[in-house]
Amino acid sequence: MKGVWEIIKSIFAFIQGVGATAVGLLAIFIIFLAAIMVSGKGEERPKVPEGAVLVMEPVGAIVEQIEYPDPLEAALASEFSQRPPQTSLHDITRALKKAKNDDRIAALALITDYLGPIGPSHMHTIAAAIRDFKASGKKVYALSTAYSQAGYLLAAEADKVYMNPMGSVLLTGYANYPTYFKSLLDKLEANVNVFRVGTYKSAVEPFIRDDMSPAAKEANIAFLGGLWDQYETSVETARGLEAGALGKDIEDLPELLRNAEGNFAKLALSGGLVDELAPRKVWRQALREEYGPSDGGNSFKQIHYETYLAALGHDKPSRNEIAVITAQGQIVMGEGPITITAAETVVGYIRQARNNPDTAAIVLRVNSPGGSAFASELIRQELVAAQEQGLKVIASMGPVAASGGYWISATADEIWAAPSTITGSIGIFGVIPTFENTLAKVGIHTDGVGTTPMAGAFNTARPLSDMTKDVIQQSIEAGYGEFLSLVAEGRNMTVEDVDKIAQGRVWVGTKAKELGLVDHLGGFDDAVAAAAAAAEVENYTVAFYRDYPSNFDQMIADLLNSSVGGLFKSEAPKLPSSMMQFAAKLKTDAELLLNFNDPLGSYAVCFVCQLDQP
């Protein structure tokens, strides 16, 4: 679809260049569009019905910032686009925070049927926001047909959990099963040259092993166990279950399911995970009787959280801004979209923020497993430049802030992490495959001369020389030393003490706090409040720095979202099947490798920071 939209734009560009007549026609066309837009803009904000139920129905992956799609692609998304849907964490928490004290909102209805990938800290953040909403005395209802592990953590906070009689609550725990490529590389006769520092730096293992090393298993089960403990505690507390009940039920699953005649829904009901098995019309009627009918009378009085946010509008700007710089996804050199932490793009946002006279402080919001060490350092240097001109920098760690994600945070004035943040993985590695044997199998060879022993040293059609390997290993070790020094400086520790807890090992937020790798446990709002306190400001607004669509794209997007463009809209979100999720994981792993663009071949990446969960 992207190509179609580019063709349309090219046609407009062509029309602009063909002369006065065409310009006149273009002007008429623009006036026509503008007239439609004006009529659309004339519409008032959505109304919030008195006594409405706020419907919270997150769709797709929960992210820090949503990527702005091409407007035509977005309009036809369900039918033609392969772009997975996304929901902003901050939209969810803002809606819940506002609705808590809004007398027009009577209750909350949570539907997680279309919830996609979500990190543990995002999961717990939303659960905490639901608990905060309940503190107002308003009821919360979970209304899904079935519950994934992530969805159930949210649903457990509800006053009443409904589920379809054909549904299930599937809880299996956390796992990490990376994909390993050694045998494939052996068959290709590729020589994989690995350079690393850190006992637990297992990011290179997929290239040199077909299984997980004992050291990696030791480290991974430790942090996975910490995350699962937090999950169990949250659910058992919310549902009033005995401590350890979830783990025991998983261990006894075959016997318990047999007692429930193989029916997962009956099992969830008998185990106290859901309160009532009911088809949609039953809970719709129950909420209709409690809160009144919708305008059409077919359901209960309600407002979707996105419509609710549109009705609220934006907060009034303040002269004191807390600038939020988001580092989301793999850290790479160059420029790029919000889905990755492209160094030049992020550095540009930091520079804009520190040169903005209204900026009171900066919050670096991190959800990244790392990437290029060079790119990480460029971002950190720009944050240091902000600190040198008097701005406080507060790092706020989301689901993952490991390796390069920790590097960019290391010298912040304060580091805040969620208890379930995956962090640490302080280590450096380099991987350079060479394919001289692969090429030789098909009759291709290389030979020649160079002016120095290092000339042509990085030609992947030739084996690496001992001199080249020595140079690279020294560079990796120096990079690790630099990493340790930055952490020691930022956390007020000695290099030796940092080295003891580094070595590429991954920690959960609670343990990282004990070890001194983070200063405070708390969420995004806590970090923003800390930034305001450090800047000594009381009245402030939060400003998210990011890319925005062009005026033309925005105009078309507004048109397609108006009543005129209603024919283009799709209503049913599509989430990938299990097979497609596996294929997407392989694609993500491949893209991670393809994005390795550090000029020195030095990387700080955590491959084990991705969790396997239903």
Taking the alpha carbons at both ends of the chain, their separation in whole angstroms is 30
Residue 223 in contact with residue 507, Cβ under 8 Å? yes
Cα–Cα distance measured from residue 345 to residue 332, given in angstroms and rounded to the nearest whole number: 10
Beta bridge partners of 396: 365, 416
**Which pLDDT value is given to residue 503?**
85
81, 396, 403, 409: which is the annotated catalytic residue?
A: 403
Between 89-100 and 524-535, two packed helices, what is the crossing angle to 10 degrees? 80
* Residue 507, C-beta contacts closer than 8 angstroms, at least 6 positions apart: 223, 422, 423, 424, 501, 515, 517
424 CB-contact burial (10 Å; exposed 0-12 / middle 13-18 / buried 19+)? buried
| Phi-psi domain of 334 (left: phi exceeds 0; alpha: psi -120 through 50; beta: other) | left
Query: Among 469, 512, 518, 522, which Cα is nearest to 490's?
Result: 518
Could you confirm whether 570 is annotated as catalytic? no
pLDDT < 50: residue spans in the chain: 1-5, 7-8, 12, 14-16, 18-21, 23-24, 26-28, 31, 34-35, 38-40, 42, 77-80, 557, 559-572
201, 392, 511, 513: which is the annotated catalytic residue?
A: 201
Per DSSP bridges, beta strands 359-368 and 341-342 are unpaired
Residue 165 in contact with residue 279, Cβ under 8 Å? yes
Cα–Cα distance measured from residue 356 to residue 323, given in angstroms and rounded to the nearest whole number: 9
CATH 3.90.226.10 residue ranges for the chain: 52-169+274-312, 321-558+600-609
Q: Please give the structure tokens belonging to residue 341.
A: 């932490």
Locate the DSSP E strands across 36-104: 52-56, 61-63, 86-88
Cα–Cα distance measured from residue 535 to residue 354, given in angstroms and rounded to the nearest whole number: 13
Residue 253 in contact with residue 172, Cβ under 8 Å? no
**Which pLDDT value is given to residue 605?**
75
- CATH architecture entry for 52-169+274-312: Alpha-Beta Complex (3.90)
Q: Which residue is it, tokens 């209805």? A: 109
What homologous superfamily is domain 321-558+600-609 in, according to CATH? Answer: 2-enoyl-CoA Hydratase; Chain A, domain 1 (3.90.226.10)
Could you confirm whether 281 is annotated as catalytic? no
**Which pLDDT value is given to residue 2?**
46
pTM: 0.85
Query: Among 512, 503, 331, which Cα is nearest to 405's?
Result: 331
- Max Cα-Cα span within the chain: 85
**Which pLDDT value is given to residue 377?**
96
Amino acid at 363: V
> How far from 136 is each of 98, 107, 162, 523, CA to CA, in Å?
11, 10, 22, 21
Cα–Cα distance measured from residue 188 to residue 435, given in angstroms and rounded to the nearest whole number: 8
**Which pLDDT value is given to residue 199?**
63
**Which pLDDT value is given to residue 570?**
39
**Which pLDDT value is given to residue 73?**
55
**Which pLDDT value is given to residue 5?**
46
Q: Please give the structure tokens belonging to residue 55.
A: 């419907």
**Which pLDDT value is given to residue 378?**
97
Residue 326 in contact with residue 546, Cβ under 8 Å? yes
Rg (CA), the chain: 27
Q: Please give the structure tokens belonging to residue 585.
A: 């994981």
**Which pLDDT value is given to residue 524?**
97
Neighbour count for residue 253 (Cβ, 10 Å): 14
Task: List b or e across 451-460, with b for residues whose CB sees 16 or more CB atoms inside 10 angstroms.
Answer: eeeeebbeeb
